[in-house]
Amino acid sequence: MTRIVDALAPRVDETVVEIGPGRGALTEEILGRVPRVTAIELDRDLCALLLARFGAERLQLVQADILDVDLTRLGNALAIAGNLPYNVSKPVAMHLVRDRAAIDRAVLMFQREVADRLVAAPDTAAYGPLTVLAGLAFRIERVFDVPPGAFTPRPAVVSTVTRWTRAPADGLPSEFEAPLRAVLRASFARRRQTLLRNLRSVVPGGEAQAREVLSGAGIDGGLRAEAVPPDGFVALARLWPM
């Protein structure tokens, strides 16, 4: 836990948010560095345990599903930490992309396979919509792996701690987020198909319009989606018929 907090480097003058504190192992470590933590926890019994352990003066507790929490209401330039279970990893990552304007940085632990997707390069099997969206909104780096033996009970997988630093505002312009999500959804719908085949089935003008959009973005329609770098998808989103 110390290494996670070291990677986050929380400051006493900022709002520190923990996602899913559980029984408070990471919470305790964070509170050794800052006077107060905002913790988001869904389980009612765990909320009671956390309040009894740390007190309401040091722990601002939000009893809710993280996916239902508007992070922009918690403050500006948030520093976020959390150990995310596999089943909510992608939705939480996309939630951070949505609320990125409120986030300065985050240190998040995922199952290693999810971390691989977050930092994947084009032309690899792990590269996909999650890579593109999260990578445009944040600079994401792998910090260290955590073996199964570090946890009780012991999981069957290796975990990876990642550090997220918010990208400049123009990395993912808000006006292109919706069309970009649509482009990615269509482009990766059938990974073994070419972009032209995938896009022609969803744009209103069929193959002719798909060719026009691809040409305007400077992208070869014979490529598969995994071969297109993030800026290529942004170029497609700028021309995408909504």
DSSP for 159-172, written as a single string: EEEEEEEEPPGGGS
Say how many domains are in the chain.
2
| Same domain membership, residue 166 and residue 78 | yes
pLDDT class for 191, splitting at 50, 70, 90? very high
What is the structure's pLDDT at 176? 86
pLDDT class for 153, splitting at 50, 70, 90? confident
| Same domain membership, residue 123 and residue 12 | yes
What is the structure's pLDDT at 226? 97
| Same domain membership, residue 203 and residue 146 | no
Domain boundary among 147, 171, 195: 171
Inter-helix orientation angle 230-239/206-216, to 10° = 120
DSSP structural state of residue 135 = H
| Same domain membership, residue 150 and residue 71 | yes
Mean pLDDT of the chain: 95
| Same domain membership, residue 24 and residue 117 | yes
Q: How many CA atoms lie within 13 A of 172 on its CB side?
A: 24
pLDDT class for 230, splitting at 50, 70, 90? very high
| Same domain membership, residue 82 and residue 199 | no
| Same domain membership, residue 162 and residue 82 | yes
What is the structure's pLDDT at 27? 97
| Same domain membership, residue 101 and residue 80 | yes
Are 166 and 104 within 8 A, CB to CB?
yes
pTM of the predicted structure, to 2 decimals: 0.92
What is the structure's pLDDT at 228? 98
| Same domain membership, residue 141 and residue 29 | yes
What is the structure's pLDDT at 51? 97
What is the structure's pLDDT at 175? 86
| Same domain membership, residue 140 and residue 62 | yes
Q: Which domain, by its residues, includes 147?
A: 2-171
pLDDT class for 58, splitting at 50, 70, 90? very high
| Residue among 5, 13, 23, 130 nearest 80 (CA) | 5
- How confident is the model over 18-31, as a mean pLDDT? 96
Are 42 and 92 within 8 A, CB to CB?
no
